[in-house]
Chain A
Amino acid sequence: MSAQTPAAGKVPPTSIRGAAQRGVIARPGREAIESKGWLRAHKWLLLRRLSQFGILALFLVGPWFGAWLVKGNLSSSLTLGVLPLTDPFLIAQQLAAGHMPFREALIGGGIVLAFYLLFGGRLFCSWVCPVNLVTDAAAWLRRRLGLKGGKAPAGNTRYWLLGFVLIAAAASGSLAWEWVNPVSMFHRGLIFGFGLAWGIVGGIFFYDLLIAPRGWCGHLCPQGAFYGLLGRTAVMRVSAARRAACNDCMDCFAVCPEPQVIRPALKGVGQDHPLILDGDCTTCGRCVDVCGKDVFRITTRFNRSES
């Protein structure tokens, strides 16, 4: 991240770059809070948490209060007794393992697949997946404690892992990954009971906090990789539309779970338009929030305009 273009303005003192110059712990987003107000500087974050907890609540009001809106879990569910939804990642594993699922699962998988193909594959990661709460917490704590360094595996490890997951399913004739998949395990645990699965969730938290920054969601998770592949053609995208106003404070890079996706759009590296088209972008909107200069916005992939 050596974006050394002439700054469009003075670098704020609490930003990543400003704090690095002064040798203190950075508080990314502080400038945005001052210029936009706390609420607008947390708009997408709040909406995202609302979505994550809301979806979880839909699953939990049944077992907790007997109001059965949604039965099942993220792997497969039935809403209001009519709408089947199934995780296409699981259907892919099933097909690899040699099992042709029933019509309900295929229809449910098709609906989910169509949604993410259309709107953005990794919307799942940032707006639905409960593990995001864990890894976001780890990333937040990491920033607050000023922990630097760490050893994260290469970002494409997840795609290799995705390949091996499917091969393992085919070779073993079973959903081998689902024995250990922390994503489905965490969600299922919240609804049906955990057992020792807390250990795996805790493991991810401490791995992200102490060993690899954004290690799980950003480098390893094959389910995220699967949705990343789905998101390559998706319509909803983040655009650095006002990139001319960027003052190189680097706050967006600090909060972004996939910081490598920003540079092409923000600095025009290898592309002209300001759209973030990389499938790894989770469209979480955190960059929109923390930018004091309102550089980013969430728009469609057809909107290549700059303002």
Chain B
Amino acid sequence: MSDKDTRSPARAATTAAPVSRRRFLKDAAGVAGGAGLLALGAGLYARQASALPATAIRPPGALAEPDFLAACVRCGLCVRDCPYDTLKLAELGDGVATGTPYFEARKIPCEMCDDIPCVAACPTGALDRGLTDIGKAKMGLAVLIDQENCLNFLGLRCDVCYRVCPVIDKAITLERIHNPRSDRHAMLLPTVHSEYCTGCGKCEKSCVLPGESAIKVLPIKLAQGSKAEHYRRGWEEKKAAGESLIGEQVELPVRGLEGKAYGDTRVRPGEGPAADAVPDYKPSARPGGVDSGWKP
């Protein structure tokens, strides 16, 4: 490129002009081809490796991944100012863009410092200083991914992920439902709410399962489905309008359930349609229903 200006006089002085031009063109073509190949290789590698592994979480305030990769200079100042050694720079072979900061929640989660030192340290804006309230961070989204091994789903009261959540009762709530296995207990299911979850990963870190965690922080793109914008939620429309949009509905009585609220079909033993109202109906020998008769 521009260094040929300084050298071409010397070359022109030593060789005849046409030979020099031919040689220059040949050299330039070879050089451009080689350099192009090298850059193409780097570009392809960058593109292939820019798919972030699901367990690698970016620091709070990180721009969306494509913008982040344009902005981050891989200086590690965020890593240095992280008081908990949560962040680290990716090394070649880690599967994360070489030199960019990330953390793995199962190893060391984000402690959600109030002053967000990692964001303050970033000189380039790869971590957005618009983030001043760590509660608004969206590093990822926790997902209770293994319902077969989660102790709460087995009916036990582990609750650890719920207890450690810095946004307890908002980002993770315990939803009480009937335990159909015992049929007499409740299950308290840890339930993540994307509106409040910051993706700090303390739940994943503290999950008591011996190896992999049942609850994991994933990149939001992986963790969340798209909203069904075309689907109008009747109950929200009703709330917004103050009344049902389709008018009051005719409520038909259900035989045997007269006197119960409309839609309430729960029956106790002895309630409901009389046995003789249905020909050939025989109640099951084993009692069922709420009082199953099961004894430990």
Shortest CB-to-CB span from B106 to chain A, Å, is 19
Measured CA separation A290–B86 after assembly (Å): 50
Shortest CB-to-CB span from B52 to chain A, Å, is 12
Q: Return the CB mask of A158-187 against B: 1 if under 8 Å, else 0.
A: 111111110111011111111110001100
Inter-subunit contact B94/A105 (CB<8 Å): no
Inter-subunit contact B74/A188 (CB<8 Å): yes
Question: Which residues of B sit under 8 angstroms from A169, Cβ to Cβ?
Answer: 70
Contact status of A94 and B71, CB under 8 A, knowing A178-B99, A195-B93: yes
Measured CA separation A307–B92 after assembly (Å): 52
Shortest CB-to-CB span from B124 to chain A, Å, is 4
Inter-subunit contact A102/B123 (CB<8 Å): yes
Shortest CB-to-CB span from A64 to chain B, Å, is 13
Inter-subunit contact A157/B31 (CB<8 Å): yes
Inter-subunit contact A175/B3 (CB<8 Å): no
Contact status of A161 and B39, CB under 8 A, knowing A172-B46, A174-B46: yes
Q: Return the CB mask of B6-22 against A: 1 if under 8 Å, else 0.
A: 11011001000000000
A175 is contacted by which of B34, B72, B91 (Cβ under 8 Å)? B72
Contact status of A179 and B45, CB under 8 A, knowing A154-B30, A260-B7, A270-B13: yes
Measured CA separation A171–B7 after assembly (Å): 31
Inter-subunit contact B73/A105 (CB<8 Å): yes
Question: Which residues of B sit under 8 angstroms from A105, Cβ to Cβ?
Answer: 73, 123-125
Question: Which residues of B sit under 8 angstroms from A100, Cβ to Cβ?
Answer: 125
Inter-subunit contact B122/A192 (CB<8 Å): no
Inter-subunit contact B6/A278 (CB<8 Å): yes
Question: Which residues of A sit under 8 angstroms from B77, Cβ to Cβ?
Answer: 71-72, 76-78
Question: Which residues of A sit under 8 angstroms from B43, Cβ to Cβ?
Answer: 168, 171-172, 176
B278 within 8 A of A: no
Chain B residue at minimum C-beta to C-beta distance from A63: B80
Shortest CB-to-CB span from B5 to chain A, Å, is 10
Inter-subunit contact A180/B45 (CB<8 Å): yes
Chain A residue at minimum C-beta to C-beta distance from B49: A179
- CB contacts under 8 Å to B, within A118-170, are 153-165, 167-169
Measured CA separation A75–B36 after assembly (Å): 24
State how many residues of chain B have any CB contact under 8 Å with chain A.
Answer: 56
Question: Which residues of A sit under 8 angstroms from B88, Cβ to Cβ?
Answer: 192-193
Q: Return the CB mask of B74-112 against A: 1 if under 8 Å, else 0.
A: 111101110000001111111001110000000000000
Chain A residue at minimum C-beta to C-beta distance from B33: A160
Shortest CB-to-CB span from A217 to chain B, Å, is 15
Shortest CB-to-CB span from A13 to chain B, Å, is 30
A99 within 8 A of B: yes
Inter-subunit contact A185/B92 (CB<8 Å): yes
Measured CA separation A229–B46 after assembly (Å): 26
Measured CA separation A194–B89 after assembly (Å): 10
Question: Which residues of A sit under 8 angstroms from B50, Cβ to Cβ?
Answer: 174
Chain B residue at minimum C-beta to C-beta distance from A70: B80
B32 within 8 A of A: yes
A84 within 8 A of B: yes
Measured CA separation A100–B121 after assembly (Å): 17
B66 within 8 A of A: yes
Shortest CB-to-CB span from B83 to chain A, Å, is 13
Inter-subunit contact B123/A76 (CB<8 Å): yes
Shortest CB-to-CB span from A101 to chain B, Å, is 4
Would you mind naming 15 contact pairs between A and B with Cβ atoms under 8 Å apart? A76-B124, A94-B124, A102-B123, A102-B125, A156-B4, A156-B27, A160-B34, A168-B43, A174-B70, A179-B45, A179-B97, A180-B46, A195-B90, A264-B10, A269-B10
With A78-B121, A195-B93 known, 16 other A-B pairs at CB within 8 A are A71-B77, A71-B80, A71-B81, A72-B80, A78-B123, A90-B73, A104-B123, A157-B34, A160-B32, A174-B70, A176-B43, A177-B39, A179-B46, A179-B49, A192-B76, A220-B38
